[in-house]
Structure 1
Amino acid sequence: MDIHVRAYQLPVNNISINLSLWHRTNSFQPFLYNQTYDYCKFMKNPTRMPFVKIFFDAIKRTSNINHTCPYNHDLIVKGFVMNDSMFRLLPLPGGTYMFKLRVATLNAWRAEVGVQFLLDLKSK
């Protein structure tokens, strides 16, 4: 996954993120997790929010979002690959899932990214 977010109003120091996990039965249904966080507070102490930290630890190696607010530059993710190891710590049954990330700045939702994946328990 490659994402380039152009920041038109700098600095950005009010960021909310919503992370949710969806499971597919006949259609995608909310499953286990749907939380909204103040991203700037999270960056000051990432260990307080374990689920967000799982995602952040995976994405920070391929992005320039690995510092606290404010952000005075465009946000870039380049070459991010989601894999089963991100979810090994969660008690998930096998199946098809969707991980959704929503981002808000200045209290308005600006972006949404959804990634579908198959969790194969045989490889756990």
Structure 2
Amino acid sequence: MQSLGQLLQTGDFKNEKHVPVIHLPKKISEGKEFEIKVSIGDEVKHPNTLEHHIEWIKLYFFSEDGKFPVEIANFNFSSHGEGGVFTEPVGLTNVILHKSGFIYAMAYCNIHGLWESKEEVIFE
């Protein structure tokens, strides 16, 4: 039996429509609030239908000296065409960090499973 980590898929978000894209500001200051945006399908649009959609995206932070990742956001996309309503797979949150490290994003496609990406946070 595989571990969950072995089931996570990655790829180049410019060629793969399932990879979560983490958008960070160019300059991040220790102890100062900043915005994180995460989206799916920036370069190649992911389908958003009842049959094929992104169900959720989770964001985690793992500090440079951390032992475990900390969940910082959880975005659920509940409407995939019911009643003509579509929830686009985009999330936005503000955070304050006191240590450098990595932001990880994990997304779930109802057909193609779990996908992940990461971006490094380095203070200016």
Structure 2 length normalisation: TM-score? 0.42
Structure 1 length normalisation: TM-score? 0.42
Instruction: Identify the structure with the greater helix proportion.
Output: 1
